[in-house]
């Protein structure tokens, strides 16, 4: 409880920014013939990011290691590799 004359501190507003990433199913990521693994259609390049929905419905950020269809993806939660085949 404040007393008359007390100075109240200003409440800080949290700053949150959205990182808009497309959500792709895990089956698409592991399918080498899927357009997500073709740079011409998806823009897959080294460092490209997607959110992968796993078979357990978890959402995981993945990062491409290169632009070739067989270049691996890195899961950012476990740092495991996903190899399109």
Rounded Cα–Cα distance for residues 15 and 69 (Å) = 37
Task: Confirm whether 57 is domain-assigned.
Answer: yes
DSSP code, position 56: T
If 0-12 CB within 10 Å is exposed, 13-18 middle and 19+ buried, where does residue 62 land?
A: buried
Domain count, the chain: 1
Give the mean pLDDT of the chain. Answer: 90
Confidence of residue 18 (pLDDT cuts 50, 70, 90): confident
pLDDT score for 73: 98
pLDDT score for 21: 93
pLDDT at 4 over 70: no
Domain that holds residue 58: 23-82
Phi–psi pair at 42, nearest 5 degrees = -105, -15
Instruction: Please count the other Cβ atoms lying within 10 Å of the Cβ belonging to residue 45.
Output: 12
pTM for the predicted model, two decimal places? 0.77
Task: Confirm whether 46 is domain-assigned.
Answer: yes
pLDDT score for 3: 64
Rounded Cα–Cα distance for residues 83 and 49 (Å) = 15
pLDDT score for 9: 73
Q: What is the mean pLDDT of residues 33-58?
A: 95
Task: Confirm whether 4 is domain-assigned.
Answer: no
Instruction: Please count the other Cβ atoms lying within 10 Å of the Cβ belonging to residue 50.
Output: 20
pLDDT at 63 over 80: yes
Task: Confirm whether 6 is domain-assigned.
Answer: no
């Amino acid at each position: 409880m404040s007393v008359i004359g007390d100075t109240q501190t200003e409440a800080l507003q949290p700053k949150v920014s959205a990182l808009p990433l497309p959500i792709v199913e895990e089956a698409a990521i592991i399918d080498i013939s899927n357009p997500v693994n073709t740079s011409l259609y998806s823009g897959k390049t080294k460092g490209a990011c997607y959110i992968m929905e796993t078979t357990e419905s978890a959402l995981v950020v993945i990062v491409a290691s290169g632009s070739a269809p067989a270049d691996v993806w890195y899961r950012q939660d476990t740092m495991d590799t996903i190899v399109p085949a």
